Amino acid sequence: MKKHKIEKILALLFLMIFLWICSKGPKPFIPRFTLRIEGVITDAITNSPIADAFAQLYDFRAGYSRISPHIVAEVKTDENGYYYIEYSEVGTLELSYVLFRMGAMADGYCELDIWTQGKCIDCTEEVQTINIQLEPKSN
C-alpha cells in the first residue's frame, strides 16, 4: 500500500515537473502585421500641399467604439504635404473586412470626416498610397 502511494506521489511530481518545463519552453509563433501608408495632403481648391497637417490612422476593429474609433497612429506632413505611417502590431488581420481608415486635419481646413470621406485601408503589408484633399474652412 505504501509503495502504491509513493508511485502516485512520484507520478504527480513527474507531471508537475513536466508541465513546468513545458511552460518554460518556446512560445508559439504569433504573426506580426505592418501597415505602411504614404501620401500627400493637399488643399482641395488650389491643389497645394499642406505642411504640418495631421494624417491619422483609425482602428475600427471590434473592441473599439464605433462612435469613437481609436487613433493608432498620427503623423505630421512635411513642407511638401507628404506623410508616411508605419503601424505594426502582433496578431493577425481579418482580411474579410476593412479594419482601418485614414483621416486628416489641418489648421484652417475642415477635418476629413472619417465616416463619409475616410479612406479605407487595405489589409496588406505593401506600401499603400493614400492622397487626401482637405476643404478650406469658409470664414
Please give the residue range of the domain that contains residue 57.
32-134
Predicted confidence (pLDDT) per residue in 95-122, tens digit: 434 467 788 999 999 987 665 566 666 6
- CATH code for position 66: 2.60.40.1120
The overall average pLDDT reported for the chain is 77
Identify whether 116 is part of a domain.
yes
Name the residue type at position 1.
Answer: M
Identify whether 124 is part of a domain.
yes
List alpha helices for the chain, DSSP H: 2-24
- Which pTM was predicted? 0.68
Q: What is the predicted pLDDT for the residue at 101?
A: 78
**Mean pLDDT score, 62-67:** 54
Alpha carbon separation from 26 to 16, 17, 30 (Å, rounded): 18, 16, 12
Is the pLDDT at 25 greater than 70, yes or no?
no
